[in-house]
Amino acid sequence: MGAFSYKALNEAGKTVKGILEGDSERHVRSQLRAKKLKPLEVESAGAEVEKAGEESLNLSGWRQRRASRLSSRDLSIITRQLASLVRSGLPLDEALHATAKQAHKPNIKRIMLHVRTKVLEGFSLAQALGENPIAFNEMYRALVRAGESSGYLGPVLERLADYTQNSQIVQQRLKMAMIYPVVLLVVSMGVITGLMAFVVPKLVGVFAHSHHELPVLTKALVAASSFVVNYGIYVLIAIVALVISVRRMLRQEAYKRSWHALQLRLPVISELVRQINSARFAATLSLLSASGVPLLQALTIAGQVMSNRLLQESCEQVVNAVREGSSLSRAMENAGTFPPLLVQLVSSGETNGTLPQQLDNAAKDQERELDMVLGMAMGLLEPFTIVFMGASVCLIVLAILQPIFQMSSLV
């Protein structure tokens, strides 16, 4: 029995969508008619997922890819539910069916029912998840594969749920830290632009009939205001075009690598990037090694979760060195891009046989360091934004008041 997505008309003539299980499209259409629905479209949920996977390789089909993607929160929830059901002794296909039934979002229901269909066809859970690599990445599938092979699928899923939840918390922390300064900067730019476009021209118009020479600051303000009024829309269009062009350029490997290299040279930003990637690397490697994934495969997957291309290349050097017989701590030290504390904890874990625990400690330490770096970065950005707005408004006020003071002195 497979999962099918449908589009039908109800008795009121409104279009409704949903997911049903059936042996065939004809069976699903019969179920819809029994519910007094007129079927318009019936398509296998598996076909949609496979189509999205194929289109993702061609960088097209944005809507299909979006329908096949799971957020960190959704992935954490379904992993937690599946782990609880599997540990309670429920058969895997029934656990997948219950997880899909409890899902409120149609795309989650569609994806989980497609996974269940593949499991019923004889695929392992890891193979079934591999049918939708957009929703379940390589690390997720490797952990499930290790759990299935060791017979501890439930505990491994519990660890995976904890990992996805912690990743979501870190992402939310980064977003929340950036919201206030970004909003403040946008509001500041909006206020200054509004003053230059609407307020300054009216106030400066008072001096238009004056035969006195205007101060240099006032002339500069008049010129800037005229530029904003006459060419502001073109500047906005140019900025949007520049952003789009830069985003397209960064899709090319050479430009992306140059941008990532620049990130590692900028003050504050470089430390922030290193802390984020080091925390991801340590947490992922800890989870994989604790779940029984071979070290070389775990290192390869942990390197892929790093967002910076140069740090990924450093991780590839570590993999090659370990493959040639070097210890993990020595290989990481020779790479020169990993924090000393992380290298020291890895060395300690290798010595006393507690590498997963030491990596977990290192990940927590890196997250604490990340909080400190974020606090410092936001502490610098917020006052800078306030000072920038205050200085800009002060210059505008001075430019307007200077000619008024000159006229008063003449009178």
Residue 312 CA to residue 165 CA, distance in Å, equals 24
The mean predicted confidence, pLDDT, of the chain is 80
Judged by average pLDDT, the poorest of 14-18, 107-111, 319-323 is: 14-18
Residue 362 CA to residue 343 CA, distance in Å, equals 9
- Give the N- to C-terminal CA distance of the chain in Å, as an integer: 94
CATH code reported for the domain at 72-167: 1.20.81.30
What's the whole-model pTM score? 0.65
Contacts for 185 with CB less than 8 Å, ≥ 6 apart: 385
* Planar angle of CA 137, 246, 260, nearest 5 degrees: 55
Start and end residues for every CATH 1.20.81.30 domain found in the chain = 72-167, 178-411
Q: Is the pLDDT of residue 55 over 60?
A: no
CATH code reported for the domain at 178-411: 1.20.81.30
Q: Is the pLDDT of residue 266 over 80?
A: yes
Sign, Cα dihedral of 273, 275, 279, 282: positive
Model confidence at 238, in pLDDT bands (50, 70, 90)? very high
CATH code reported for the domain at 2-67: 3.10.20
The predicted-structure confidence for 376-391, as pLDDT tens digits, reads as follows 777 777 788 788 888 8
The predicted-structure confidence for 291-350, as pLDDT tens digits, reads as follows 778 888 888 888 888 888 888 889 999 999 999 988 888 999 898 888 888 888 889 988
Start and end residues for every CATH 3.10.20 domain found in the chain = 2-67
Radius of gyration of the chain (CA): 29
Helical residues (DSSP H) of 195-252, grouped into ranges: 200-204, 216-249
Among residues 68, 73, 119, the alpha carbon closest in space to that of 95 is found at 119
Asked whether the beta carbons of 159 and 290 are under 8 A apart, the reply is yes
Residue 252 CA to residue 248 CA, distance in Å, equals 7
Q: Is the pLDDT of residue 113 over 70?
A: yes
Q: What six digits make up the tokens of 164?
A: 């996805």
The predicted-structure confidence for 170-229, as pLDDT tens digits, reads as follows 777 777 777 777 788 788 888 888 888 887 777 766 666 666 677 788 888 888 888 888
